[in-house]
Every structure is written in C-alpha cells, then in structure tokens.
Amino acid sequence: MERVRQLGRELSNWGRWGTDDQRGTLNFVTPQVIQRATSSARKGRVFSLGLALGSDGPQIGQGGRVNPLHFVTALHVGYGAANGFRYNDDALLLPLQAATQWDSLAHVYYDDTLYNGVPATMVTSAGAARNAIDAVGEGVLTRGVLLDIARLEGVERLPPGFVIRPEHLEAAEKAQQVCVRTGDALLVRTGHITVFTRDQNREAYMRQMPGLGLDCARWLYEREVAAVATDTNAVEVIPFEDPGIPLPLHLVCIRDIGLILGEMFYLEELAADCTRDGQWDFLLAAPALKVRGGLGTPLNPLAVK
Ligand code: UVW
C-alpha cells in the first residue's frame, strides 16, 4: 500500500477545485470542451455502448452483485370501457454496478478517507452523503476518444492479465492519429467483452481480464482526462500486478485523482466504425442517473460520430 499512498500523494487533486468539490476531474469539462466535443459529431451516427439490463446480464454473484430483476407490475390494466384504455407498467431491481456503469467518487477508498478528504463515515447504509453519483450533476457529456489496444496488438481481444501501459496508450494515439486532451473521456478497448457477449462465458469475463496497469494513473492525471472507461468489469488488470494490493488503480484514480471509472462499456461496433472511417473521437453522452447518495450508476452511454 505504501506505493499506492505515495502515488496518490503525487497525483492528488484534493483541493484543486475547492475543498467542497465532489466532481473531481469532471471539472475539466468546461463549456469550451463541450463546444469542441459537439464538433466531433460529424456524420450523425449513434452507437449505444450499454449492455442490456436483464436476467441474462454478466453478473455471477461476485460481491453480492446479481443480474437485474425485471418484472411487470401492471399488465393490460384497463380504465373505463371494454376495449378502451389499457396500460402496462414494470419495475427493475438491480445493483447499480450490475452492467455498464460509472463508479462514483464514493465507491472505493483507503485509509478511511474518500476523494477530497471526505471521511469514509460519510458513506452509510443510506448511501453516500458526499461524493455520491448524483453530485456528478450534468456530467458526463464531453468528447470521447477510443484507444483500441486490441487492434494495436493485432488481436481480436487481449488475453486476461495483459497489462496496458502508458506506452500502449501513446502507441495507439500515434497509430490512430488521435490525441487525448484535457476534459476528454478516454475509452479503452480490450475486446474482452466478447467473452461475455459472444462466447456467453460469464465466469471467464468476470474473473480475470486485461486492463490498465497502475502506471497509467500518472498518464491519466497528466493528460487531465475527465473520465476513463473500458469494456471490462474492472478497468484495471486482473490478476492484480501485486497480488497483495487489490484494485490499486481504482484507489488512486477514484480517491486521489477524483477520476470516475466506467466499466463494461460495449465498444465493439463503435471500434469497427472507427476502424472503417479513421475517426476515433466522438461526442460522448453518458449521464449518471441522479440516484440520491448512489455509489454508482447504470448507463446507456451514447457515442455520436
Ligand atoms: C470494485 O471496485 C469493488 O468493483 P468495480 O470493479 O466494479 O468498480
């Protein structure tokens, strides 16, 4: 943990946007960044990056996470005349982390302290009183940049345990002729999601995966990325680089940098289109649900090219 603490101190954004800030690096998304982002929507094609919410989702019960339960609560209910008005309603019960999601800045922490020095006691069984997902407000709407590391490596998908380094991110930028800039949301494709979507192997999808190594934290910090997401369940590599320190990138990104992580983004069709037309940036609309005190949010992110 000393390495994590040291890195966290070096990359800390605590206080940068005020002692009360709860939005972290989303503060990089200024009106100018959004205006620039809209110019990346050039041809009007929209890609949904969200997994479907249903009982056939990716969860295998790990950490108490189950797939969503969807049930119909009103079926062909009528008012008034026979063959007149009828309606159908439904309900959804789900862990907010069940499928495509943002982690809030209250999701992980160490040393009893969350992002911006908030005591961990601010999170209770009622949710987070600080750094919750509803504090994200109007985010996330910005320019998205996709870096396709599987394509860079010349494979359909990276193997579990493959560590993505800053050098991979930079090599992908060069190969794709795109540059990650202040306020961008960075999407990293590993191709691993096809283990679930195509092979239907939930266990293999959820237990081990390729992902970002801890040394990417500094790169994300220096590039002033607003949010980062991948097509895996953890963003970072599993098995962990140091087996004694679980999810170190989560700790430094969320708690110290104030950077939200996006997981299980479905990037396959977007990546195929980017390969076809050579345009790797787009307008990304991935707004958080305003779950009061929420520790995360389910999403259907839209990439508009
Ligand atoms: C944890 O950090 C526990 O989970 P996730 O990878 O879904 O953010």
Question: H-helix or E-strand containing 141?
Answer: strand 141-148
**Within a domain: 91:** no
Quick one: pLDDT at residue 80?
Answer: 82
Name all residues whose Cβ lies below 6 A of ligand 1: 97, 103, 107-108, 233-234, 247, 250, 263
**Within a domain: 76:** no
- Distance (Å) from CA 247 to ligand 1 centroid: 8
pLDDT greater than 90 at residue 137:
no
Residue 218 has which token pair?
A: 């500094």
**Within a domain: 81:** no
**Within a domain: 142:** yes
65, 94, 97: residue to mutate for ligand 1 pocket, most atoms within 8 A of CB: 97
d(CA 186, CA 168) in angstroms, rounded, equals: 13
The 8-class DSSP code of residue 180 comes to -
Phi-psi region of 111 (alpha: psi -120 to 50; beta: other; left: phi over 0): left
* pLDDT tens-digit map of 242-287: 999 999 999 999 999 999 999 999 999 999 999 999 999 999 999 9
Quick one: pLDDT at residue 83?
Answer: 87
CATH of the domain at 127: 3.50.30.50
**Within a domain: 140:** yes
**Within a domain: 275:** yes
Number of structural domains (the chain) is: 1
Of 97-101, 133-137, 201-205, which gets the smallest average pLDDT? 133-137
102, 105, 107: residue to mutate for ligand 1 pocket, most atoms within 8 A of CB: 107
Quick one: pLDDT at residue 66?
Answer: 97
**Within a domain: 70:** no
Quick one: pLDDT at residue 78?
Answer: 93
Please, are residues 270 and 303 in contact by the beta-carbon 8 Å criterion?
yes
Atom 4 (ligand 1) nearest CA: 234
Residue 252 has which token pair?
A: 């430094």
Atom 6 (ligand 1) nearest CA: 234
Q: What is the CA radius of gyration of the chain?
A: 20
- Distance (Å) from CA 167 to ligand 1 centroid: 25
d(CA 9, CA 6) in angstroms, rounded, equals: 5
- Distance (Å) from CA 97 to ligand 1 centroid: 8
* pLDDT tens-digit map of 62-98: 999 999 999 999 999 998 888 899 999 999 999 999 9
Tell me what the pLDDT averaged over the chain comes to.
Answer: 97
Quick one: pLDDT at residue 135?
Answer: 96
Instruction: Provide, rounded to the nearest whole percent, the portion of the chain with pLDDT above 90.
Output: 97
Mean pLDDT, residues 210-224 taken together:
98
Secondary structure class of 224 (helix, strand, coil): coil
Say which residues have a Cβ less than 8 Å from residue 299's Cβ, sequence separation at least 6. Answer: 49, 50, 100, 101, 102, 262, 286, 287, 288, 289
- Domain carrying residue 223: 2-64+96-304
101, 230, 249, 263: residue to mutate for ligand 1 pocket, most atoms within 8 A of CB: 263
Closest atom, ligand 1, to C-alpha of 296: 8
